[in-house]
Amino acid sequence: MILGTVLKPSTTSSLPLLLAGPILRKTTATEVVIWLATSSPLIGRAELYVNETDLVEEIGQSNVEQDQPFYTSSLEEHDSIQVGTHAWVTLIRLQGQFPTNTLLEYDIHTDSGSLKELAPHLVYNGKSHVEFKISTSADYILHGSCRNPHHPSKDSLVAADNKIAEQTVAERPDMLMMSGDQIYADHVAGPTLDAIQQVIQRLGLVGESLPTDSQIKKINSSDALYNSEYHLYQRHQYLPHHTASESMLDKFFPNRGVPIFSSTDCENHLVTLSEFIAMYLLVWSPTLWQCINRERLIENNFTQGGRQLTPTEQQQWRDESVIMDDFIAGLPQVQRLFAHIPTYMIFDDHDVTDDWNLTVGWEHAVDQNQFATQVIGNGLAAYWMCQGWGNKPESFDETFIEQAKQLFVDQPLITKQAHNEAGNAVTTHSVSNIEPDKHQAFIEMLSRFEEWHYTIDTSPKVIVLDTRTRRWRSESRMNKPSGLMDWEALIEFQHQLMNQDKVVIVSAAPMFGVKFIETLQKMATTIGKPLVIDAENWMAHPGSANTLISIFTHTKTPTNFVVLSGDVHYSFAYDIKLRYRRNSPNIYQITCSGIKNQFPAPLLKFCDVCDRLLYSPRSVLNYFTKRKRLKIEKRSPDNQTFYRLSNRSAIGELRLDSDGKPQAITTLSGDGKVTRFPEPD
């Protein structure tokens, strides 16, 4: 654990310069991408360092003095978005010819100092700079999903940092893959929401107008929400509803309807764009927790917006605060981990809201409600800025970036080239409130965007799927779950598989789930209640399920598939073969979830037992499922004799051999314990 973290203040503000990051993102032989958030514009340079002997061997440069950078880039050249009076989000894209599979270092020099001077805890003991490697392989991957700050389990990212601190750069993972629910926008602790409000005030994050088709029409702006009695633990009373039925009875006897935001824990649901941005800053860095008063609500006698919290809410606050203390204590190590390991991300539902795009009926309800559309758009905008942008920066052209910048400043639209030509003549001023027309236009652009998926050109190739925004909608019933990917997206996925002998696929939800649980989900869908137990899985929609299985059974697909997934809050591993095929590809599904979350233990044990009894590889019931062409063997965790599902908050570790087959499947729990999933007998 890192103790006594001291952060150096910015020279232009009482706030520290470094608010969050640096997060090492996309890394290739031609590009190194670094994300960070600061309290003032970045002025200075980014530098790359390498051992001189390695540099001569890799790129032929021999005139580099020891501890001198071989690559330098001005920070002012990179895209930076001002999101508030004292808040900038910057994506540094270093482009050139870089050595691979060798020890590299980077540093960011600003007017306030270097990274080590700004945040000494960022470097490992005795090091001058942050060390990393550009790996051409993907045979050692850290992976996981579902990091809920106020879940009582330990944060397994801290355990990952402890392990990496003991490894040499060559021994470290090739990448960290975070496969969804990096934040929980719909399930926020009271102390976290109060911290978010204080961060918005400290940084001067922008406000926004709010449509009045929520349940409380008088709340028409972000300021009105923050100062209302509904701000804390009461947002479920404020979030909009919709009438699911169009019957004559509903027209004569109007009712409150069904909540559009279906989470059972949405009393503190994030609403505004600034809330989403502040959430990312608070879960990825300890900095802003040191800049706020965590006892503010207690000092105000638990009164917010003129309403005193109920005794039950006050106790909930105290309970959540204890858990958050432990979470915050681990954030320096989480920040250090992100700085050293190339980190890739993809959304799942909680990054925006629970059950996001689950059914066509849900999508229709959102489309008909301006408030819901804006909240979903805010979540997606913050995801792009804090997660999606760094996965594949080239997917977002200059028009996209400039439209994003225009949300927060009063400057007319201007291209980067014109900006550079104008020099200091071009100035920007942060707006206090986003213009509604600009806000709506940006959200509409995001809703049309279809390039959230991406590939990582390593060996094996890593294909990261978008299972949220390109769905195969049910044509029979409005409340029937959509397929996780539509036909066109699946065909594009198939093309990515061609001419590959081995591949790693990242799907937020397991492609092959626990069959007994999927059966329960199907029953819930049959009675018209798909939201009750989150009836969301690859097999829930006939079109997408059959297309997916056809892809796996195609003769030109890779020999070895590894599917990494999360979402479900427990971990398991399957070995899968095609029935009735001599030359079946090898399919391995490895699910690790959550990084800081767990499934209710008694219920999981019940489902585990029922699944093992009813859906063994030889069970006749398999022939009544969509995956009847597949033979699935379940690996047993080495710490259990009967159960197949591991219910520990953990991060997954995958090691592959040269053929792309799993050499070791393990999970590292928050308390440092390792669980192995050996090959089935």
Residues 362 and 507 in one domain: no
Residues 605 and 653 in one domain: yes
Q: What local confidence, expressed as pLDDT, does residue 53 receive?
A: 52
Question: How does strand 586-591 pair with strand 560-565?
Answer: parallel
Q: What local confidence, expressed as pLDDT, does residue 4 receive?
A: 43
Residues 414 and 475 in one domain: no
Give the other-Cβ count within 10 Å of 77's Cβ.
Answer: 13
Residue 58 lies in a domain: yes
Q: What local confidence, expressed as pLDDT, does residue 247 receive?
A: 46
Residues 125 and 184 in one domain: no
Residues 20 and 94 in one domain: yes
Low-confidence ranges of the chain (pLDDT < 70): 1-13, 52-66, 244-256, 411-430, 524-536, 626
Q: What is the CA radius of gyration of the chain?
A: 25
| Domain closes at, from 75, 105, 134 | 134
pLDDT digits (tens, 9 = 90+) for 331-378: 999 999 999 999 999 999 999 999 999 999 999 999 999 999 999 999
| Domain closes at, from 110, 134, 158 | 134
Residue 28 lies in a domain: yes
Residues 231 and 105 in one domain: no
Residues 127 and 198 in one domain: no
Give 505's strand partners: 463, 563
d(CA 175, CA 154): 22
Residue 73 lies in a domain: yes
Q: What local confidence, expressed as pLDDT, does residue 256 receive?
A: 58
Short-list 483, 259, 270, CA closest to 375: 270
Query: Residue 251: which domain range?
Result: 175-312+340-418+430-437
What is the residue whose two structure tokens read 């942060």?
A: 430
d(CA 350, CA 188): 11
Give the other-Cβ count within 10 Å of 479's Cβ.
Answer: 17
The pTM of the full predicted model, rounded to 2 decimals, is: 0.92
**What is the C-alpha end-to-end distance of the chain, expressed in Å?**
39
Residues 87 and 187 in one domain: no
Q: What local confidence, expressed as pLDDT, does residue 39 receive?
A: 96
Residue 360 lies in a domain: yes
Q: What local confidence, expressed as pLDDT, does residue 540 receive?
A: 77
Residues 126 and 250 in one domain: no
293: which 2 tokens? 């008063």
Q: What are phi and psi of 520, to 5 degrees?
A: -60, -40
Residues 355 and 498 in one domain: no
Residue 464 lies in a domain: yes
DSSP three-state, residue 621: helix
d(CA 660, CA 522): 34
257: which 2 tokens? 């309807």
Q: What local confidence, expressed as pLDDT, does residue 221 receive?
A: 96
Q: At what angle do helices 370-383 and 273-284 cross, to 10 degrees?
A: 30
Q: What local confidence, expressed as pLDDT, does residue 418 receive?
A: 42
DSSP 584: P
Residue 423 lies in a domain: no
Give 72's strand partners: 47
Residue 620 lies in a domain: yes
DSSP 152: S
Please say whether the beta carbons of 148 and 140 come within 8 A: no
Q: What local confidence, expressed as pLDDT, does residue 66 receive?
A: 57
**Any idea what the CATH number is for the domain that residue 24 is in?**
2.60.40
Short-list 411, 543, 529, 409, CA closest to 473: 543
Residues 11 and 121 in one domain: yes
**Structural domains counted in the chain:** 3
Residue 449 lies in a domain: no
Residues 122 and 9 in one domain: yes
CA dihedral 540, 541, 544, 547 (to 10 degrees): 90
